[in-house]
């Protein structure tokens, strides 16, 4: 405090009182965040005790990451601390999510030993917006079912509505799975294979078959095959024949086998696994082993 009885501080005295540097206080003053009370006869900026308290608020807000514009508005009373803090939290959430994606991408790059070109593509795919991810999926489904009016509408709609957005805290495995999935969805060869799967679905449905029957069949297949595998029943055993009869009913085994063969290829199975991995469920929920067991059981009775 200067020795003139006014209770005012020079910048140097204010710096000693608050523990801040003269340079910092001068910068905040120049930016209009901290206004001097008056100036000395020599033109030096002078501050009062309230200025010291305001400096503590400014320092706190800056340490919390608020920009000078927000700090200026809080100090001047244009905005309250709560509203500025809420806006800053929202901005931090975006930054934190971006950092987590960055970390996941770098972990994937390190694990894969990716090239510079692969790293660039991976980073681009990982940072697609939810709308851009949905566009990729919808274009894939539209291409798969275009013109197939008899295909099961529940299957089509379920695929179109499948969420493929990364979670707020993606693991490197989820980023890796999404990148591979996005590449697969845009691969012309894979699209052609999935088109054949849709064509089998459309060809196998009569006008009397209810919507959603394909999904019901898949759920029943997974349930029965999982039980069979759990009991150690071999696909070529007599007991497997009973399970197939329970699964197929009056359906033609040869037609079902042809249809399943189109949908249990490594690529199609990998597609299901990747969807499960992106959702954090793990590859087992794609039920690759259960579908393969039923195909093997049908092949054993068809002579291969």
How high is the pLDDT of residue 228? 93
How high is the pLDDT of residue 285? 60
Q: What is the mean pLDDT of each run of 10 residues along the chain (304 residues)?
A: 64 89 92 89 87 89 87 87 84 77 78 79 74 82 86 79 66 79 87 83 69 75 90 93 88 81 74 82 73 90 68
Q: Which of 37, 44, 47 is nearest to 17 (CA)?
A: 47
- Among all chains, which residue has been given the structure tokens 């710096």? 15
**Residue 205 backbone phi and psi in degrees, to 5:** -110, 125
How high is the pLDDT of residue 25? 92
- Among all chains, which residue has been given the structure tokens 């009373």? 77
Q: Is the separation of the CB atoms in 28 and 34 below 8 Å?
A: yes
Residue 118 Rama label (left phi>0; alpha psi -120 to 50; beta): alpha
How high is the pLDDT of residue 230? 92
How high is the pLDDT of residue 238? 92
Q: 9 - beta bridge partners?
A: 47
How high is the pLDDT of residue 243? 92
7 Cβ partners below 8 Å, 6+ apart? 1, 48, 49
CA distance 44 to 57: 23
CA distance 53 to 148: 72
Cα 7 from chain centre: 58
How high is the pLDDT of residue 3? 45
How high is the pLDDT of residue 303? 60
DSSP 54-86: HHHHHHHHHHTT--HHHHHHHHHTSS-HHHHHH
């Amino acid at each position: 405090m200067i020795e003139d009885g006014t209770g005012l501080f020079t910048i140097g005295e204010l710096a000693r009182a608050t523990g801040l540097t003269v340079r910092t206080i001068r910068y905040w003053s120049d930016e209009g965040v901290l206004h001097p009370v008056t100036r000395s006869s020599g033109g030096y900026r002078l501050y009062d005790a309230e200025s010291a308290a305001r400096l503590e608020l400014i320092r706190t807000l800056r340490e919390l990451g608020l920009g000078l514009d927000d700090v200026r508005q809080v100090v001047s009373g244009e905005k309250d601390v709560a509203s500025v803090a809420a806006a800053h939290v929202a901005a931090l959430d975006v930054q934190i999510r971006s950092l987590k994606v960055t970390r996941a991408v770098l972990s994937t790059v390190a694990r894969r030993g990716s090239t510079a070109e692969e790293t660039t593509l991976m980073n681009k795919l990982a940072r697609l917006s939810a709308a851009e991810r949905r566009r990729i999926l919808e274009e894939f489904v539209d291409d798969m079912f275009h013109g197939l009016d008899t295909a099961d509408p529940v299957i089509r709609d379920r695929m179109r509505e499948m969420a493929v957005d990364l979670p707020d805290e993606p693991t490197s495995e989820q980023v890796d799975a999404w990148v591979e999935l996005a590449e697969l969805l845009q691969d012309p060869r894979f699209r052609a294979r999935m088109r054949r799967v849709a064509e089998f679905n459309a060809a196998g449905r009569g006008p009397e078959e209810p919507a959603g029957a394909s999904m019901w069949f898949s759920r029943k297949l997974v349930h029965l095959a999982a039980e069979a595998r759990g009991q150690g029943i071999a696909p070529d055993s007599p007991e497997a024949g009973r399970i197939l009869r329970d699964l197929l009913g009056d359906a033609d085994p040869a037609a079902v086998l042809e249809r399943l063969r189109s949908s249990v290829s490594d690529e199609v199975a990998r597609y299901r696994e990747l969807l499960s991995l992106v959702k954090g469920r793990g590859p087992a929920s794609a039920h690759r082993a259960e579908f393969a067991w039923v195909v093997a059981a049908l092949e054993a009775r068809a002579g291969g």
